[in-house]
Every structure is written in C-alpha cells, then in structure tokens.
Structure 1
C-alpha cells in the first residue's frame, strides 16, 4: 500500500471516529450554552473536587485541581447552580442563560461546621486495589511493608502475589503476567522505560519503595496511549515529595541500607531523594550459601555406565540505586517535573571444581584418569539502568490538559564465563602440565564473553480533552529512537556474533471514553506506529467495555492488537544456563512481535469483600529465540551464530479467580490461576511445546492480621514445576584441525519438568512512635519457613566424557530483619489547635475514649493530611500517622481531595474494635 493510500485510510478512520462525537456536540449546541467559572474559599484558596450541578437536571461536573469548572450543553433559560463540597456550606446561585455563549459564574464557599461523614474501618488498609477496568491493579508502597520480604519493601514482589502473575521466580523480580515474559512488559517510571528490574539475584526489584507514590499495572487489554509491548504495562509514579514540611527517613536490613529526604521548595515545589546500597554481611553470605544449598556428590546416572557429578553454586552480589525527583509549579496552569533513576548490580556466580580421580571409576573399580582435577568456573555478570525524564504539564483550560515528556534510558549487561582447569598429581599434590592436550583430560568448556547495551530516547505528547460529559478524548504522539548493541566472543579473541542496530518508531494514538448511560463505559481506541527498519506501519485497534449490572456486580471485557519492536531474546544453553539479550526487530531474522488480546470477566464487590473472575487469551506471532542449545558453547570459530535465530508463535490462555477480604483487622486474599503457555517453533520442534515459564496451576494465599501496633502476615504459594529441555546423550566429533566438539543430543523441547514449587513466608512488625512527629517500624521475616528445596534450574558441563549436572536451587529457610524510621518537622499550622481533644492512652496512637450516649467509643484528634484518595485518608499528627480506609460513603456529592498539608480535625466513634465507624472531618483554617 502506498503512502497516499495509507494517508487516505487514516483520514477516513479519524473522520469515522470523530464525526459522531462532533455531530452530537453541534446538535446539542444549537439550543444550549455553557457555564464556566472558578470556585474558591473565602480566603481565596482555589477548591478542587467541588461538585457543580444544575438543580432539577442531571447536568453536573467537578472542579479541577485549580478550582475551575465547565458545564456543557446547558439548556437556555433560568435555573439554579448548586455547589457542594464536604466541609463547606452548600452554595446556590441563580443563573440566566439567554444565548449560546459561555456565561462565567465564580462561586465562593464558606467553611461549614462539619465537613463530611464517611463509614470507615479504623487502622486497616487494602493491600491491593482492583480497578473497575479489566486486568488493572494498583498498589501503594505504604501497604507493602505488611507483607513478608527479605528486609526491603518491594513493590514488584507484592505484584507477584496478584492473580495471573507468577510468584515462583525468586531469581527474578521481573513479572510473568498471564503467560507473558518480563521483556514483554512496558515498565515506566515517570515516563522513562526501565529495561531490567532485578537487584541482588533477583530477590529485590530495581525500585525503591521510598521513591514511589503508586503503581498501576495493566495485565492485558491496555489503553492506546501505551505501546511497544505485547503483554502488560506497569506504570510507576515517583513520590512527589512534601510541599509543606521537610521529611526524612531511612532503614536498614541484613542486606542493605537506605535513606530518603522529601523537601519543600518554597510554596510551589518539592524535591525528593532516595538511595539504597547493599553491603557484605553474614546474612548476605548466608543467602549466597543457601541460594543453591543441595547435596553434593554424584548425581544421576551418567553415560557409559558412569555417574555424573553435582556441584553447588555459591554466588555473591552487590547493588545500589538512587532516585531523585523535582516538582515545581511555574504558574497556576503549568507544572514541570524532572525524575532521575540510576542503578547497578554485580553478580559473581563463580564456583570451584574439585574432582578426585576415583570419581571416574567404572564398574570394575578401575579409573581411566590418573590425575585429580581442580579449578574454577568463572561466571561474572554486571548490569544496570539509567533513566531520566523531563515533564511539562499544562492545563490549557477547563477541558483540555497536555503533558510533554522527554525521556532517556540506558541499559547495559556484561557477562563473562571461563573454565580454568588444573591437573594435580594425587600423590604429591603438585600441578601436572601435559606436554600436549591429549595427555590430560578433555575439558568441556573454554570461555566466552557477552556485551549488550540499549539506549532509548523518547519524546511524547499526551492530551486529554473533554468534549462533553459523555465523551472524553485522549490523543497524542510519540517518537522513540532505540540503539542496541550485542556481541558474543569465544575464548576472548573470536567474535562469533556482533550486531549494532538503530531504529525509530513514530506513533500516534487516539481513544474516546464514551458513557452512553451511567452504568456503561465504552472505550474504543487506535494506535499506529511507523517502524523505519521495516518501513511498515503497524495499526493496533483496541476496545474495552465496563457494565454495572448493579451497585455490586459489574461485567468487563477488553481486546486489542499489540506490537513490539525491541525484544529480549533467550540464548538457550543447557550447559551453563540460559542468558538473555536485547535485539531490535529487523523484519528478517528477527520479526516484529505481535499479540492479540481477548479478556472477559466479572466482579462482585461489597464494602468488605471482592470476588473476581477473569479469563484471557493471548495469541502471539513473530516470537524469536536464539537457540544455540544443540551446540552449547563449543562452536567452531567460523560458525555463523546468525543462523541460530528461530521464529515462532504462541498461545497463552487461562482463567483467574480472586477472593479478597478488604477491611477489618484481618485482610488478604486467595487466588487460583489455571493457565497454559504453548509455543510453536517448527525449526526447533515438530510439535508445539510448553514455554519455559509455563505453569498449569498456581495457588496463592495472602493474609495480614493487625493487633494493636503489631502486624502479622503470611503468604503461601504453590505452582506446577517449570519445563526444561534435558540432554539424553552426546557425540564427540573430531575436526580436521584436531579440535574436538561434543555435540549434545536432547529429548523433546521442554519435555521435562522441574518438581512442583511451594513456599511459606511469614513476617511480624511493630510500629513505634519517635517523639511528636516520627515513627519507626521494626520487623522480622521468615522466608521459606519450612525450608523447601525448590529447584531454580539445572546446569550441565562435560569433563572427561562425563556429564556434570548442577542443581541451582532457590533460597532455603532464611530469617531477615529490618528497621525503618520516618521523621518530619511539624507544620507551623499544627500549633493552631490541640493535638488531641482527649487524654492520650499510653503507648497508643489513639486518644482515650470518651463517653457516648449509645455506649460507643468516641475519639477525636487534630492533624495534617498526608494523603487522601477516594478510599484512603492518611493524617499525620504529633503522635504519629493515622490511616483509614474508607468504605461505603454516606456523604452528599463527591468526596473532596485535600492536598497534603491541609490541617484538619477528625472526630469518630465505634462500638468495638471490629465495627464499622462513622467519622466526621472538619477543615481548620
């Protein structure tokens, strides 16, 4: 198709997409006008979240962050505008609209004696929050501390406990979501892409929870504004920092220490810094030893009647990461934000080799080997990420918002593996140096090195436009330039593979959230990307639907097409373990990957419970694999590794079940996932085979119990073992130049499975108050409480015609501890009233109960809003932080969103520790 034809097709699609919306606007506007204005308090403070409605009609809107509002399609005539906001007295304004012009009506609200009433459950919070949209989950870092960990709050490890996400990959914080692989996930941090998310053997993710405001994950069927990946999206928003008071903190565990600072920049901005670094300790040594704690000695039966050998790996690792974020309001409509991330890891999986000549004895007790063998397998890996973004947010008017982003990412990975063998005289212990290679045992490995580097420069513009109360448009453009280098050297001087590619993606997207009636939302969208390496345009139509059958029951569905241009390939190596590297699709040896998503589900939600079921199917094409499996690393110098790229397709399908208890002292969930991931690479296997990350059954239990200041939690995971390809023999080939090559023979592709995986983790933590404005959290976690020996992978090597097998295990029983401290300076406004209007109970963050006519316990206190969302209120007082999760609201209009720093008075009562309570909040000037 030519350029003109493609252009005509795009124009036609845009016209078809927009005409119904524009026609509707024109029809409505023929006998209607608009009303706009600003709502403020008596002191001039602009008020966001004010519900503006026209009495006697269904026309309404809500003021934005700057207090502005716009009522569209208002019938001509005389009527009354009603402005309402919790804590403020309702205000009615008479308006006469005589023509189709826009009338400006500014409104001033006075503080009411009481703000609002909501039903809440005290001192509890959801560990996760499921969105109304299908496959969308949100996690707050403040709740992660309640879950078992290795001493660090970790967002990605918490996400692995959600339905549809594998929780058995201890050696990678990457997310295997609904049959996808970590490289198929788009991971964004403040607009820039993170290409590797692992720290410290994969035990930690690359993200410091102290630097994160929230995380939203789209497990599939994601919106048109996201592109470049075929599985899922993880969108991480950095912490904005304090705009009213300095805050500092830090923590230490047996593995690392961390620190952060949140500082105001005058009254218009904030600065945040957070850093982590690991350190050598007996505990890290314990993890190193446990990482592959298995019985050493002879393994299973070898070839030719002899036995294989089993060695344990004792890796060592170190890491660091830093985050920094600056947010500043240039004007009432313009905000700039800059964000920085840098992190690096060093992993040393080297191990010694010590084999006595008796190991090679045959059935009659004789050994063909006269020497002992000793040496070392050197295995070093170094990787890291650097990311930087600059964002400008502009509120053009009441209905139009834009975000301009320039982002840069740099990922690198270096891998080196060599085998150094020494032959030792068993009588004297001295080294034996053979006169020629044939005099000593033959070693099945020599040495290799790999280097992979990826740079990403992205410029994008995102726009939100409200056309009417029932149509909300999102559209934008993005340009991404990638440069990827990968080289693979044998014996340090032979370059087997060397590629250096560059490519640019040019993308446009458009989507409309249409609300045809209050109980239904339909979001069609379209994304198109021109990729200059293939000189083709790839179109991705997408659609999602939400229908509320009742207040508690909703149905949801989504579908779409997705493409990926940068792929992380697996170089399969059964001798020494698989390695991954990033490459750009070129449309030839490495095709552009694509996927089609179909999702459907239903949710039943009450104030305290959520039952959710979702089914999914993903059809993949253009998958790539670098399969040097049958050659291991012993490849001739003139061998072309470029011929070992294979192309295939795949299917991932399954069904997820979730039962969640959201509120109360005891919260948590149970999930079960039944899934299948199957690949078909005709050049590797005549039949479809299970993907390496396939797991038929996965069952998870997450539970958290709060008692006074203590939080006890536990998680249990069970999953079917992962498949792998097992060698069944080998043949030694001698070439004319005298070099020998051991050609391995394999069974069916991924025809064997590792044993089933299961693990129990436990934790306990307690919060302490430090002075008037600080708090500390001290806790202990038990990882793998019953010391299950879960196998991570198997490695193989060949020495003297013997297959050496190594079981690399996950962590065994491990205890860790942590201490986190948070300090902040009280705002000057905190002196405006007493900290409590009751008597403080010793060692408690709650005041002593007052008498109530209905025998309920009544409490009240003063404090500063730290965070407030539609279902969560966090108040910082002089005696600590109070946190509430809101249930079914019993308020008029819409709950307001108070900015951090708002000084409030909270009054609430409850019948006992478990009952739902009523809370009244009053804003203090």
Structure 2
C-alpha cells in the first residue's frame, strides 16, 4: 500500500508540473493585460564574457519582489507594479547592478542583466583587483566558487575545482590523497555530487591529487555544507551542485593547455540564438614530473627498521594515467523551451606493484624476498538530458533524465620466499586478492518553480531512481604448513569468496516554500518523502532554514533537518594496502538506511571590504556501516556480506570560524575549525572512538595578490593527524589439522594518530599576449614549499610471522608549471557590436543582432554631456546617445578610460551604462593598439 501511494504521489506531481492547468496559474493580476494591472519582468543574467550566472538575487527595489537566477541564469519577476521601478541584481564577487524600468499595465518586459566582476576604480594608473575565488552566500552553510579564477591558486599544474573547494571553510584540506570532500565531519560518500543532473560516485584522478572534473567544462559550482534544501536528497552530509559550461561568451573559442603532468583542450561553438556547444578533455602523460610524484609515494624518513612492528620498510613506486572528456550542448527551441545535453567519461589506471627484499629483524639468518603485484582501475561515466519549460510568467519546470555508471576493479597478489641461511630451508607464501565494484544509476527528475504573490516562492518536484550495484571479492588467506624437515615448502591457500548484486527503486517527492513575511526575515520550510523498495518504507525528511537581517551588515541564521542515505560507500579495513571503499545498497537490517539530523546556527557580519562568519554545527548519525579487515579474525570460507558488516552510530560537531578580505589588489581569508567526529560500533569497541577522518583542529590561511598582469597566491594548512588502528603483532594459531594460521593482533580501534599535517604552497601566474581575440596565461606553483613529510597512511605485510610496515607519504617539495592559450573567433562576433564594424568590411554581410541586444567595449572619453557621449578607440571616434535615466555624463572627464554598454534603438547607439572599473590594463590597451 505504501509503495502504491508514493508512486501515485510521484505521478501526480509529474503531471501537475507538466500541464499548465488553471490551478497552477499565477494570480490573475500578474497575467492579465487589462489596464491598471501589474506586469512582469524576465531575462537572463550573464557575466561580461557572456557566460550565464546562476544564483543571482534579482529584486524590485523597495518591494518584497525577489527571485534568484536558475542554473541557466534565467530569472522571472511576476506581479510587478506598473510605472517606473528599479531592478537590482547582486551576487557576492560582482558589482551591484541596478536599472530603472518602465512597466506598463499588464506588460511583459524582457531585461537581460550583465554583471561586472567587482573591481576598484582607478585614477591615473589602473589598479587591478585580485581574483575573487570564494564568495559567501546569503543562505546558511552555502559557498560558491568561480571556476574562472581557480587558476590563481597553488596547484600541481592543473586547475582543479575540488582542490579549491578544500580551501573553503568547513571542508578538510588535509586529505591530500583524495579529491573527495570531507565536509564538517562527513565522508566523501556522504557528499552528493551532481554534474548537470547526474550523480558522480567517484571524483579522484591520479592518486586522488586531482579531481575527475575539468574546470574548463564547468560554469558554476555551489557547495551546501549542511542544512540543504528539500530538493536534494540521498546523502547525509552535504551537496555539491555543478553546472556544466556550453559556451565561452558569444564567439567561437578554442583553447589548449599543457603542464608537467597532462595536456588539455576545449572548443566552444556558439550557434547564435539557437544555442551553443562545448567539448573539453584532459589526458596525462609520462614525464619526469609524474615520476617525481610517483617516487614521492615511498618510505618514510625513518628508513629501514623504523615505522612499525617488524620494522622492515618497502618502497612503493606506483604508475598512474588518467583521462576525462566532457561535452555539453544547449538548444533554445522557443522563447520558453530550452534543451540541454551533457556527457562525461573519465578513468584512471594505477599500478603500484613493487619488489621486496629485506632481512628479518628478529633472525638475521633469515632473508625475505618476493614480488607484490597491485593493479587498480576506476572511473565514471555520466550523461543527462534536461528540458526547461516556462509555462507562464510565474510557473517554470525542468525535466531531467540522467544515467551514471561507476566502476572499480582491483587485483593484488604477492609471492614471498623466506630463506634461512643456517638451515637452507626455504618457504614460499602465495597470497592473492580480486575485488570488483560496479554501479548503475538511472534517474528521472522533475523540478518546478511557482511564484505565489510577492512573499512566497514555491519549489516542488518528484524523482524516480533505479540503482543496481555489483560487488565481488575473492582472496587467498595465506595459510602455511607446520614445521617440517624438508628443504622447501609451500603454503596451501584457502580461498575466501564473496559475490553480491543489489538492486533498488527509489521514489521521492518534495516541496518547499521561500516565505518572506517581511523584508528582513526569510523562512524556508520544506518536506521530502522517499519510498525505498528494499525496505518497503517511506522516509520523511522535514527541513527548515531561517535568516534574519538584523541590520544591513549583521545576519543571524539557523537551519535544521533530517536526511537519509540509501547507497553508501562502505569502508573495508585493509591492513596490507590501506582502507578500501565499496559501494553497496542498504537493506534495512544488517545494512540499515543511514540517517542524519542537522542542527546549524550562525552569525555573519559583512561590510563592503570584510566578511566575518561563525557557524556551530552538529550532526547526529544513525545507521552507519563498516566492513572490518579480513585479517582481524578468521572468516568463514563462503562469506556472506551481510554477515560480515558492522553497524553503528556517530556524532559530528564543531565550531567553524571564517574571516575574509573581499576587495582590493590583495584579498584572502582564514578559516579555523575545532570539532570532533565520534563513532560507536559495539563490535569494534565498547566505547565511542574517533572516526578515521577525525581532525580536532584545522587552520587554513589563503592570500591572493594582483599586480598588473601578475597574480600571486599562497596557502598554508595545518591539521591534527588522522587516527588509525595500530597492529601489535602476529600470533600463530595451530589449527586442529596441524596447520598454522597467522592472526594479526590489533590495538584499540583508532587508538593511535598519525603526526600532524601541515603544508605551505605558493603560486605565480602572468597573463600575456592579451587581446580581443587571444590570451595566454603561464604560471608556476611550489607545492609543499618546506618539504614536510606528511604521512598518508601505514601499510603492513605479514611475512614469516613478522609485520613489515611501510609509511606511505604525501608529496614532498614539488615545483610545477603550466601554459594555457585561448583563442576567440573573428571580430564579426565581438561584443563590441555594430558601432565598431570596420570600414573595410567591404561587401561582406553585416552580422545579425537580436532586438535589445546589449554590446560593450573599452575606450577613452573624448567629450560628454547630458545627451551625447563621444568615445575614442583604435577604430576612431564614435558618438553615442546618452540615456539620462541611467547615465550622468558630467561624471566623465575627457581622457577617462571607460567600459561602455549600449544598445541599438531607432538606428541610434544608446548608452545604457558607463563603468569606470576596468578588469585589467590589457583589456583597455587592446582598444588602442
């Protein structure tokens, strides 16, 4: 009955959103064209380079009418009073925008908005402003990052959006081996990663140093650190919502880059008013630099004999290659219909095989030698198709179909020989392991947005997901025979095998309302209901967030909610190769559905130059699962996964401090988090213990400086060392049949800690060859500048009754460089527009422009008054008509360098805005060369 009910609800939600029945029409006053009736305003928000800007707050000044631009940059305001109103647009990191608009009775006004990156004004010398990487949000626990600016951050030659996210408040930056995000005590599998609507289940490239996504293919990225809205579900900790890029402004563009590790490229093709297309790709190659990274994953500073029980150390020299490709296209079918297609594919190959040769620490007469073979391959494939439909001025919908595939295959085997030089006795030990994990996720989703008057913005939708997961595991336990008198013996392996296939359907509906009871107060209640057919239960997730603007600068905020997770990445302890992860589906019994309850409260104080923010958080976790090591005890030969999975609970809590300098040529921020993550698994420990990713203290300091064409940056990270379970030694047990079996004795769960982690990085970049149609950027980064030997993990091999330990370290001092070149199309597509068409164009056809299309250019003022503006560029002088409502000509002195925006009206060039805020000198210089 419950299943039929939830399916019925989902069907009703889909039908209601896809059919513009009268019950969903906006208030009559918002759509009628009768006299005296309100009108509406809609349009698209873009950056200066033509790329769309989501998340922009658009409002009618001195009213309660407010909305936010969607993933495609589109916005809509209904029920706008007739007469002249002032439209404002704002987003942290961009200059505030406003424009007066006349709205007639029942009139629909199309108003596109172009935002400028927030800059400093100049007097005699142009003063550049440092790139704005991080922008805080009006919403609680929400951060956005600009992919266009991440090149300025220290890196290993690759612009990496996930590495930039790890420098944000509340996100751990000490997990150097993983691009996955540890957000406020959560694990990467508890973070929902959406790329154009499909779910990414693994985000690592190249030992986890790089993420799986190419920043050239990303338009925007938003991180919800907790208390996220009802439209998101299926994860316990956080959400990362990524929107792909399908254009580079309004011109054809092509770009390429190379670093010491890989090469990358992209091509962007605009299709006029019909749409756009972009494809991008990356591939690594073998070089001395990749060898340098490989060699960094080697022994600790202790050398042979140090680092753990048994004392022997082994070197690790892994080889790794990766690639990824993106393609995205967007088509404007009608004024109300847009279709978007997105595709992604990426994979890694890792070979960490090695040779071992050492002398026993306890018996100098015994030598140990052999080979360890270890190979892994993993990756993602994803694709999505989305249809955006605007039914009315107040109602819009998005329908998405998404397919995601994840795979991870691992093989590991070792063949060891021990030889006693005194007796000549040789013993051979063979051990092998195979592990496979494959996942498929097919999802259909609808999201709708309905404006209900001036104070209510309703969002609702439905989702159906079909998920299947395969897991296979096979290993030799490595038993050895008892003492004998022969000169050569061999171990007799006993196999352990596991095969599992899980499938599930997941149905969900949600609704939430952004209610503005008065101008300083916003309340967003929501509810999400999910039916999971493996447990035959419906899970209700109520959510609520409240924001109160006590003053123009002081904000008080709070949020809470319940969250459930049905697919999780189980951690399997592996003494010999570090912890491994396995994606599985909950069954509600031995693997319960995970749940979390969030409590968040905070306060922020923001001025034009600075932002200060404090947030307290707590997450109560239930239904956690973990797979223990197969070496802790002897498992049954025919292992069933549900019989060998431990369940428990946990708490993640802490306080997060952040301070940011937002403007000027030197900007930056600091973050400090003090917290703890405690797990309770009765099978592991009778007492709560620190989770493996717990870090009591983490401090980050980031600084960026812009000087003319140069960008400098630096970051320093300090974090408490991670907990780990330390082995005490090996105990040999004699079986009833006379065989000997080695059992590893373990200390208390996560009772030991690795040394503290800290790292200093620097970066410098320069823009050169900058012009209207081309640009090149080169840079160098110094990673781990003082060569700190941070320990990643410890690995152990059991040979001849001894434990041989290996300290696997993170990267030491590493210097890298990169070069990126970007080329744009011919000037016929330039945003400079018809005012600057060259006189030598001859008989060539003039480009076609859209009505009310806005153009912009850089130039120097020749003269200005209340009615006309004369501007000079390399193409000569041009006269423009001043729009007295928005431009005051008396402000512009002759010779002043300006950024002019204009439109063509009645065969005249009408100025809409004049900005004395220049992004960089090369843009101005190109107007006169």
TM norm structure 1: 0.80
**1:618-637 mapped onto 2 (5 Å cutoff):** 618-628=619-629, 630-631=631-632, 637=637
Output one character per residue of 1:374-429: Cα deviation in whole Å (capped at 9) or x when no partner.
Answer: 221111111010000000000111000100000000000011111022467979xx
Q: Secondary structure at the match of 1:228?
A: coil
Counterpart position of 1:464: 449
Are residues 755 and 860 of structure 1, via their aligned partners in 2, closer, same or farther at CA, if it must alter by over 3 Å? farther
Instruction: Say whether the 8 Å CA contact 2:614–2:655 is kept in structure 1.
Output: yes
2:426 to 415, 420, 440: 440
Instruction: Give SS of 2:769's match.
Output: strand
Q: Residue 279 of structure 1: CA displacement?
A: 0.3
Instruction: Name the structure 2 match of 1:748.
Output: 748
Q: How does 1:168-187 map to 2 (within 5 A)?
A: 168-187=174-193
| Residue 286 of structure 1 pairs with residue 281 of structure 2 | no
| Whole-angstrom distance in 1 between the partners of 2:672 and 2:57 | 42
Show CA shifts across 1:444-464 (max 9, x none).
x61111000010000000000
Judging changes above 3 Å, is the alpha-carbon distance between structure 1 residues 226 and 313 closer, same or farther for their aligned structure 2 residues? same
1:679 aligns with 2:662: no
Identify the residue that residue 797 of structure 2 maps to in structure 1. 797
Matches within 5 A, 1:642-657: 642-657=642-657
User: Is the 2:253–2:268 contact (alpha carbons within 8 Å) kept by the matching residues of 1?
Assistant: yes
Q: Does 1:405 align with 2:400?
A: yes
Shift of the alpha carbon at 1:123? 3.5
| Local SS of the residue matching 1:285 | helix
CA contact 1:36–1:68 (8 Å) conserved in 2: no
Match of 1:481?
466
User: What is the rounded CA distance, in whole Å, between the counterparts of 2:629 and 2:346 in structure 1?
Assistant: 31
Cα shift at 1:736: 3.7
* Deviation at residue 62 of structure 1 after TM alignment: 8.1
CA distance 1:314–1:7, change in 2 (3 Å): closer
Cα pair 1:862 1:906 within 8 Å, conserved: no
Sort the Cα spacing of 1:734 and 1:515 in 2 relative to 1 into closer, same or farther, 3 A.
same
> Cα deviations across residues 744-800 of structure 1 (Å, max 9, x unaligned)?
111111000000000001111111125541111100001100000000001111112
Q: Say if 2:119 and 2:663, in contact at 8 Å, map to a contact too.
A: no
Tell me what 2:475 maps to. 490
2:846 alignment counterpart: none
SS at match of 1:267: helix
**Aligned mate of 1:261, from 240, 256, 267:** 267
Q: 1:141 to 1:548 in 2, by over 3 A?
A: same
What are the within-5 Å matches in structure 2 for residues 124-139 of structure 1? Answer: 124-139=130-145
Structure 1 position 165 matched with structure 2 position 171: yes
d(CA) in 2 for partners of 1:792, 1:179 = 18
Q: Which residues of 2 match residues 225-624 of structure 1 at below 5 A? A: 225-242=231-248, 244-295=250-301, 297-300=303-306, 307-356=310-359, 359-360=360-361, 362=363, 367=365, 369=366, 372-422=367-417, 439-441=425-427, 443=429, 446-491=431-476, 494=495, 496-624=497-625
How far the C-alpha of 1:212 sits from its partner, in A, is 0.2
> 199, 204, 210: which one pairs with 2:210?
204
* Paired residue secondary structure (1:446): strand
- Provide, for residues 209-246 of structure 1, a one-character-per-residue CA deviation record: whole Å limited to 9, x for no partner: 00000100000000000000010000000012146310
Q: CA deviation at 1:299?
A: 3.0
Q: Aligned equivalents of 2:284 and 2:156: distance in 1? A: 12
Structure-1 separation of matches of 2:472 and 2:919: 66
Cα distance between partner residues in 2 of 1:485 and 1:262: 38
Give the distance between the partners of 2:662 and 2:835, measured in 1 at CA. 34
Q: Does structure 2 retain, via aligned residues, the 8 Å contact 1:790–1:809?
A: yes
Report the Cα distance in structure 1 between the residues aligned to 2:494 and 2:362, rounded to whole angstroms. Answer: 37
Q: Secondary structure at the match of 1:785?
A: coil
Against the structure 1 CA distance between its residues 883 and 173, is the aligned structure 2 distance closer, same or farther, given a 3 Å change threshold?
A: farther
**Counterpart contact for 2:307–2:805, Cα < 8 Å:** no
Deviation at 1:521, TM superposition (A): 0.5
1:250-309: per-residue Cα shift (whole Å, max 9, x none)?
100001000000101243110100000000001100110012353464334977xxx421
* 8 Å Cα contact 1:255/1:281 also seen in 2: yes
Give 3-state SS (helix, strand or coil) of 1:309's partner: coil
Using the TM superposition, give the Cα deviation of residue 8 of structure 1 relative to its aligned residue in structure 2, in angstroms. 13
SS in 1 for 2:561: strand
SS of residue paired to 2:250: coil
* Structure-2-length-normalised TM-score: 0.80
In 2, Cα distance between equivalents of 1:149 and 1:808? 21
Correspondence 1:663 to 2:663: yes
Helix, strand or coil at the partner of 1:797: strand
Provide the residue aligned with 1:722 in structure 2.
722
Mapping 1:782-793, distance limit 5 Å: 782-793=782-793
Aligned residue for 1:766?
766
Distance 2:664 2:837 in 1: 26
Alignment partner of 1:248: what SS?
A: strand
Structure 1 residues 883, 347: closer, same or farther in 2, change over 3 A?
A: farther
Contact 2:299 2:809 in 1 (8 A): yes
In 1, distance between residues paired with 2:415 and 2:308?
Answer: 23
Contact 2:132 2:146 in 1 (8 A): no
Q: Which shows bigger deviation, 491-500 or 193-202?
A: 491-500
Q: For residues 817 and 903 of structure 1, what CA distance do their matches in structure 2 show?
A: 46
Judged with a 3 Å threshold, the aligned counterparts in structure 2 of structure 1 residues 118 and 655 are, in CA distance, closer, same or farther, namely: closer
* CA RMSD across the alignment: 4.4
Distance 1:140 1:911, change over 3 A: closer
**Secondary structure class of the residue paired with 1:148:** coil
Q: What whole-Å deviation, never above 9, does each CA across 1:470-499 have from its counterpart, x for those lacking one?
A: 000000000011000001011499452111
Residue by residue, what CA displacement relative to the aligned partner does 1:320-368 show, whole Å, maximum 9, x if unpaired?
Answer: 0000001000101000000000000011111110124xx4455xxx63x
What is the rounded CA distance, in whole Å, between the counterparts of 2:620 and 2:783 in structure 1?
A: 36
User: Residue 307 of structure 2 contacts residue 806 of structure 2 at CA under 8 Å; is this kept in 1?
Assistant: no
Q: What's the secondary structure of 1:587's corresponding residue?
A: coil
Q: Write the deviation string for residues 671-716 of structure 1: whole angstroms up to 9, x where unpaired.
A: 1000100000011100000000000000000001111111111100
**DSSP 3-state at the match of 2:615:** strand
Equivalence for 2:811: 811
What is the match of residue 701 of structure 1?
701
- What is the distance in 2 between the residues matched to 1:620 and 1:107? 49
* 1: CA distance, partners of 2:297 / 2:798: 23
| Counterparts in 2 of 1:862 and 1:557: CA distance versus 1, 3 Å | farther
Q: Is the 8 A contact 2:131 2:706 kept in 1?
A: no
**Distance in structure 2 (CA, Å) of the matches to 1:193 and 1:225:** 14
Distance in 2 between the 1:797 and 1:564 partners? 35
Deviations 1:51-110 (A, max 9, x none): 9979xx9475789988975317x7xxxx74557799999565675xxxxxxxx3356999
Contact 1:243–1:265, Cα closer than 8 Å, also in 2 = no
| 3-state SS of paired residue (2:391) | strand
Shift of 1:441: 3.7
Secondary structure of 1:478's counterpart equals: strand
Whose relative contact order is higher, 1 or 2, with alpha carbons under 8 Å and at least 6 apart? 1
Question: Aligned equivalents of 2:731 and 2:170: distance in 1?
Answer: 42
Distance 1:535 1:34, change over 3 A: farther
